[in-house]
Structure 1
């Protein structure tokens, strides 16, 4: 019975007696198709602990943040390696020729941008915002009276606010206390009053204003700017500017289409210069290229 089974195995494998001894000493792969096994990719990432054998991808080499510090991963490990030392920047404290504290730079930029945007409607003179900042940061160099360039801007803002509230704009004197006291009154009536705004000092007029630090004076100015920004006068002006810009864009598009159609009518010989013709036509007619 055993001999019969052995003969069947030989016939199934197609062997003869000469190879019988080899089959008898075969290993575990006997009868297995080795070509059917899936090849192991050479580039497969082999890990040993936290270490990688092959190179890392570009994304994996990007700096990583650990406990608030930037690190670069090592080529062969997952563990962050070299710490990145970022250069220390130089704070910008000079705004429009005025030397400011670091914490006041944002307030100064806010004020300057407001004046630049609404200079036309508020009749702000050229160079006036810069001069105001320079005077405010002068500190003790301000004399007994508030400089006219500073007083004029406060009075202009107060007039817009009073007109929006249907109040008769007061005829303020630059050298008087009235405009300072009224500013303090509006601050005290505000629903979004900041704790930093000096209501008590402003109620004392010029003497109280002179006690304010440059930072507080900027806060007072920006308060008036914000109040003016919510008035109907400035809102209508913004809408008018938006409508005007929209009309200019529409006109530019129509001009662009007209020139493009004209170039198309010129025919094939002129296609090589069509782009130049279109460009210079728009420039000469002072139309922006709006698609």
Structure 2
């Protein structure tokens, strides 16, 4: 899925000045014993070597993760010099593939330990590549083999029964955790919104439909227009070639929004003028150069020279471009403000209803105590009336809680994020545009946006329950 990232340098360099320290680091050591240096998220050491800094933004705040060049190469197979040239580089933590001990524990995994030498000895370029190739089952074996070596060393020093029992219980607990995080795969997703889609285009098709679902109101899209455009791309023209087909009209609509913000008038387009405007618009985008290449659109004589996959990718890039306009940015901010206000009002109603129920429950207790000595039954009638009022208050409480839940779910429609991620490249999404299942499984492999080889799967009702259990287990 498309992710907006911040711009800036991706290489964090330590200060040129050195702070004197009384400590004596080892000869040739790159670990900084003084106040200078960069803190590495992976090894949790302050180092003097160069480090890669994440450029992603989460909840309107920049990610502060930095990874030293040694960890980046050995653990993830990436070089600081290479990621420095990417304007939208995301750290392994933001990609959901971080294998440091802290992140592994948070996702319910056991830490991998020092596997750099093991990975290189078995022919892998990095620890991440080895973990992905081996899979969760083999990863479990690697973890426990490392744990076994530690256990043997400890027993060699102190061969006491208590330590044996401790390590035995720890191994049993680790096996239990592994069993709890077995993830469902699902069945191959072959259609989107009732449209047959090739496996390599499923991700782009979902991205386009989700964009239209979220921003259909502000873009004034008609009912079924997005599906019509997708069908037109994948299964041939539904109208004559030129500007009359749905996909061309959709491009022109988005280009008109961009041109209007730039202060330019978009004259009545013809088959050649709108495509030239499209190429000019996307040529200014850095992400196009990374995803499509510099000469990709220039080589196309006209729009019909592109194949279906290329058309879909170009359309998604144009949608990303439109997201940067003030029209959509202002709409997003307005929606967020409305959601926050409605959520605040709903929470106040919930708190008021709970307070009222507590007050009524206390009143019922007091009235019951008085009714014991009451002979004419007046207090019993009061208790009955108070209970009736309390039941009405409970009904209002349930209504307020349901409204709050509905507001939260509505707010999620403009905040598309995976509901569950796994270090092996598995991500689970809850998309509004999905027809076969509202929870989809995406496998992205290494998670490198430039060499993405994704696969999509639909989950059954039973498999969705399993994912729900995994999410609950992770949050405990």
Could you tell me the TM-score, scaled by structure 1's length? 0.62
Structure 1 residues 63 and 169: CA distance shift in structure 2, 3 A: same
2:203 to 106, 109, 114: 106
Which residue number in structure 2 is paired with residue 211 of structure 1? Answer: 305
Larger RCO (CA under 8 A, 6+ residues apart): 2
Unaligned runs of 5+ in 1: 1-39, 47-53, 65-71, 73-85
Which of structures 1 and 2 has the bigger CA Rg?
1
Q: 1:234 to 1:272 in 2, by over 3 A?
A: same
Residue of structure 1 equivalent to 2:334? 240
Matched, 1:200 2:295: no
Local SS of the residue matching 1:133: helix
Q: Structure 1 pair 277/188, CA: closer, same or farther in 2 (3 Å)?
A: same
Match of 2:215 in 1: 118
The residue aligned with 1:160 is 257
C-alpha contact (below 8 Å) 1:96/1:130 kept by paired residues: yes
8 A contact 2:233–2:308 mirrored in 1: yes
Q: Structure 1 95/255 Cα, relative in aligned 2: closer, same or farther at 3 Å?
A: same
Give 3-state SS (helix, strand or coil) of 2:266's partner: coil
d(CA) in 1 for partners of 2:184, 2:399: 47
Instruction: Tell me which residue corresponds to 1:256.
Output: 350
Task: Tell me the equivalent position of 1:184.
Answer: 279
CA distance, structure 2, for counterparts of residue 150 and residue 94 of structure 1: 19
Q: Please give the per-residue CA displacement for 1:2-43, whole angstroms capped at 9, x wherever unaligned.
A: xxxxxxxxxxxxxxxxxxxxxxxxxxxxxxxxxxxxxx9999
The residue aligned with 2:396 is 281
The alignment status of 1:151 with 2:221, answered yes or no, reads no
Cα pair 1:201 1:209 within 8 Å, conserved: no
User: What TM-score results when the alignment is normalised by the length of structure 2?
Assistant: 0.40
* Aligned-residue offset at 1:102: 1.7
How many Å separate the matches in 2 of 1:55 and 1:189? 59
Match of 1:221 in 2: 315
Conserved? CA contact 1:282–1:289, under 8 Å? no
Give the secondary structure class of the aligned counterpart of 2:339.
Answer: helix
CA distance in structure 2 between the partners assigned to 1:163 and 1:220 by the alignment: 20
Residue range with higher mean Cα deviation, 156-165 or 259-268 = 259-268
SS of the residue 1:110 aligns to: helix
Give unmatched runs, 5+ long, in structure 2. 1-158, 365-382, 409-476
